Amino acid sequence: MRRLMIGNEAIARGAYEAGATVATAYPGTPSTEILEFFSRYDGVYAEWAPNEKVAFEVGCGASIAGARTLVAMKHVGVNVAADPLFTFAYTGVNGGLVLVSADDPGMHSSQNEQDNRGYGKFAKLLVVEPSDSQEAKDFVFSAFELSERFDTPVMLRITTRLAHSQSMVEEGERQQVDLKPYTKDAAKYVMLPGHARLRHLEVEKRMAALREYVEESPLNRIEWGDRALGIVTSGVAYQYVKEVMPEVSVLKLGTVNPLPEQLVRRFAAEVDRLIVVEELEPVMEEQLKAWGIKAEGKNFLPRTGEYSPELLEERLLGRTTNTAYTLDTTVPARPPLFCPGCPHRGVFYTLGRMRLTVCGDIGCYTLGALKPLAAMDTTICMGASIGAALGMEKARGPEYAQKTVAVIGDSTFVHSGITGLIDVVYNRGISTVLILDNGTTAMTGHQHHPATGRTIDGVETARLDLEAVCRAVGVQRVRTVDPLDLNQLEAALKEELISGQPSVIIARRPCALLPDAGLGKKMYYVDEEACKGCRLCIKIGCTGIYWIEEERIARINPNLCVGCGLCAQICKLDAILEGGGR
């Protein structure tokens, strides 16, 4: 049966059809849906891990135990998992293991746009890259077979455009793959130096075998056309090339590490001019040039951002295309903002009002860096806020620490914030840490994590007690506040910042989009007689309240207001009152 699928669903389907029985991940756009789709199949096990390193380590264990295993993460997640990844490339697999790296050219939802094909060369992995949803499913199937044939983890590299765009997919039957027998083999799976040195030799033999394989791999193909121009490409960029220049000759590569040298040489010899079309880094172009093959690419194609047919038409053909469909009217700019009723809004309003230096982290609350709140100073990567705050404290002294706070979400704290807090205690820091506990991994779509007390299937499980964890690592001052109670929050911050000890404030309130958020029970309105047009309520950036310039007055949109009461607390004139009805 043929069905329309996004790339992520096709990957999950491919793993299911290939007989995978275990899948692990930490949610991260654009990879999140892979595990959500996989978990819906019967007879498989899927889990959200606390972070990508743990996810990959669980995958290693499942593979060694004999199961075909899928591990999925976004590109920056591979950085977190790099430690076990590099060593698992040495040990090799038992059951096949496929690691999906979802790269994000254009940084639609990421803090950088690294090209993870580089990890393939660095960690000595076979890397395959599909161009549409059908190939995504088929390549996953092939990747499991190649993983077991060459005794190696295989990376399936995709990008945001493939992950979330749709194309038709032919579904197949699930292959019944028995659990492979597990045999104790310390020389293979215990990477102490004496064993690892021997395994490195095996890795080099494997890479030599892979270099031979890719020359004849069905994942690579030449599509002959006009030989005046030859294009070497892979991934979703192949679709752009075919749309813009269907007449040219194309070498479509499905294996992007190692590259098939002889195949590329044969192709290059048959065309007058050779151009490499690849998003982000010139991974293939540099290799071709290192082989002495005359190739072009990044001399006129960008190494930043996402490619498109329009970009290729402009850069390769010198034509500027008009957008086929446009709106006649100018749409007002709509900057990203917290949702109405978001418990984070009051936190950043308070932090900004107190003029604190705020070391932030990755999550919905990163929006606190944007205007009108603009109350965040740093955001580096998952879990970095606490370490950054401690670094500021050590650089500028304890007095500066009394004006500095680390802000981190509940899911991110579990991901990699705990070790930062341990570092604060161990190294005699006095940092104040705000854990914004909204009871979910909100930004990627409300996935569960250990502190929600639910598994990926929504089944109740042991709940990580954040207060107990903080106390267990040595923080004596741990308190919980309601982030929608601004007076309570500000009082807690003032006390903890001058305490001279490491402290944690857990600002707990469910995400406003969760059914149990408890909002919507009240209604607020602006008393037009009392409102003096100070616009203070507008500065919290809530879409539920707006400003009418002609009347110099604020109004509340009853269709968007969820009754959190934040604006009423901020108004110094008591001009925002409860009541009015919906």
Q: Domain 523-579's class?
A: alpha beta
Q: How high is the pLDDT of residue 236?
A: 97
CA diameter of the chain = 82
Sheet of 69-74, strands arranged across? 45-48, 22-25, 69-74, 97-103, 154-159, 126-128, 255-257
Token code pair at residue 271: 């065309």
CATH 3.30.360.10 for domain 2-215, yes or no, is no
Q: How high is the pLDDT of residue 580?
A: 63
Q: Give pLDDT tens digits for 197-225.
A: 999 999 999 999 999 999 999 999 999 99
Is 60 among the annotated ligand-binding positions? no
| Closest to 473 in 3D by CA, of 430, 418, 408 | 418
**406 has which bridge partners?**
359, 433
d(CA 61, CA 63): 5
With contact defined as beta carbons under 8 Å apart, do 272 and 298 qualify?
Answer: no
d(CA 512, CA 186): 51
Specify the pTM. 0.93
Element (H, E) at 13: helix 7-17
| 3-class secondary-structure state, position 180 | coil
Q: How high is the pLDDT of residue 203?
A: 98
Do 221-317 and 523-579 agree at the fold level? no
Residue whose entry in the numeric block shows the structure tokens 């607390």: 569
With contact defined as beta carbons under 8 Å apart, do 475 and 421 qualify?
Answer: yes
d(CA 242, CA 249): 10
| 3-class secondary-structure state, position 168 | strand
Angle subtended at Cα 448 by Cα 443 and Cα 449, rounded to the nearest 5 degrees: 100
Q: How many CB atoms lie within 10 A of CB 324?
A: 5
Ranges assigned E (strand) in 509-551: 524-526, 545-548
Q: How high is the pLDDT of residue 333?
A: 77
What is the DSSP-derived secondary structure letter of residue 370? Answer: S
Is 339 among the annotated ligand-binding positions? no
Q: How high is the pLDDT of residue 582?
A: 43
* Per-domain boundaries in the chain: 2-215, 221-317, 343-508, 523-579
Is 567 among the annotated ligand-binding positions? yes
Element (H, E) at 426: helix 418-426
Token code pair at residue 124: 């000595």
343-508 CATH pick, 3.40.50.970, 3.30.565.10, 3.30.930.10, 3.40.50.10440: 3.40.50.970
Is 470 among the annotated ligand-binding positions? no
Token code pair at residue 29: 């756009």
What is the DSSP-derived secondary structure letter of residue 498? Answer: T
d(CA 34, CA 380): 26
Q: What is the pLDDT along the chain (582 residues), one digit of tens a residue?
A: 899 999 999 999 999 999 999 999 999 999 999 999 999 999 999 999 999 999 999 999 999 999 999 999 999 999 999 999 999 999 999 999 999 999 999 999 899 999 999 999 999 999 999 999 999 999 999 999 999 999 999 999 999 999 999 999 999 999 999 999 999 999 999 999 999 999 999 999 999 999 999 999 999 999 999 999 999 999 999 999 999 999 999 999 999 999 999 999 999 999 999 999 999 999 999 999 999 999 999 999 999 999 999 999 999 999 887 666 666 777 777 788 899 999 999 999 999 999 999 999 999 999 999 999 999 999 999 999 999 999 999 999 999 999 999 999 999 999 999 999 999 999 999 999 999 999 999 999 999 999 999 999 999 999 999 999 999 999 999 999 999 999 999 999 999 999 999 999 999 999 999 988 877 778 899 999 999 999 999 989 998 999 999 999 999 998 899 999 999 999 999 999 998 644
Q: How many CB atoms lie within 10 A of CB 242?
A: 17
370 CB-contact burial (10 Å; exposed 0-12 / middle 13-18 / buried 19+): middle
- SS3 per residue for 39-74: CCCCCCEEEECCCHHHHHHHHHHHHHCCCCEEEEEE
With contact defined as beta carbons under 8 Å apart, do 503 and 477 qualify?
Answer: yes
Q: How high is the pLDDT of residue 323?
A: 60
Residue whose entry in the numeric block shows the structure tokens 């009853």: 558
Is 561 among the annotated ligand-binding positions? yes
Q: Where do runs of H (alpha helix) occur along 93-246?
A: 117-123, 133-149, 160-164, 186-189, 193-216, 237-244
221-317 CATH pick, 3.40.710.10, 3.40.640.10, 3.40.50.920, 3.40.50.300: 3.40.50.920
Q: Give pLDDT tens digits for 91-128.
A: 999 999 999 999 999 999 899 999 999 999 999 999 99
Is 342 among the annotated ligand-binding positions? no
Is 531 among the annotated ligand-binding positions? yes
d(CA 61, CA 493): 43
